[in-house]
Structure 1
Amino acid sequence: MYRNLDAEMARVKITQAHLARELGITPTTLSLKLNGKSNLSLKECVRIKRILRTDLSIDYLFAEDEKEGNT
């Protein structure tokens, strides 16, 4: 759902399991949040940005992918 976040996680070599551990949540909960089944809080987004140590904006990291078929 968050292609830019996925790319940044790959770039810095952080797995969802590691990120979940740093956030203090289960990998399942993080997966639900990253797949749009549950909401991420602004606080969680800020923490993820800090964990990744990135200068990319929160808006960029968490921009939702366009759904296929939409123009």
Structure 2
Amino acid sequence: MYYPNLEAELKRKNIRRIDLAKALGLALSTISDKLTGKSDISLALAKKIKDFLGVDTPLEVLFATEGNKVA
């Protein structure tokens, strides 16, 4: 897990990666690569994900990486 706060939010809302991919018009493999840190998440995509989730969590918290967890 590369983005533990994002993964936790997806789990809380019972949103699977495939659901996120479909909502964003991306392939499941693309979402998987981004969520595992194999490819970067752009600021624009991060905002789309945050909007899709409907959370007030700041981007820097939602997308904190494993080594940079922010409470």
Query: What are the ranges of 5 or more consecutive residues in structure 1 without an aligned counterpart?
Result: none
Q: TM-score, normalised by structure 1?
A: 0.89
Match of 1:45, SS state, is helix
Structure 1 residue 37 corresponds to structure 2 residue 38: yes
State the Cα deviation string for residues 21-50 of structure 1 (Å, max 9, x = none).
111110111000111111111010000001
How many Å separate the matches in 1 of 2:48 and 2:58?
12
Offset, 1:12: 1.0
Q: Which TM-score applies when normalising by structure 2?
A: 0.89
- 1: distance between equivalents of 2:51 and 2:15? 12
Q: Which portions of structure 1, spanning 4 or more consecutive aligned residues, are displaced by more than 4 angstroms?
A: none
1:20 CA displacement: 0.5
CA distance in 2, matches of 1:13, 1:38: 24
Kindly tell me the number of residue pairs found equivalent between the two proteins: 67
1:66 deviates by 1.7
CA distance in 2, matches of 1:57, 1:20: 21
Q: Which residue of 2 aligns with 1:18?
A: 19
Identity %, equivalent residues: 40
Instruction: List alignment gaps of at least 5 residues for structure 2.
Output: none
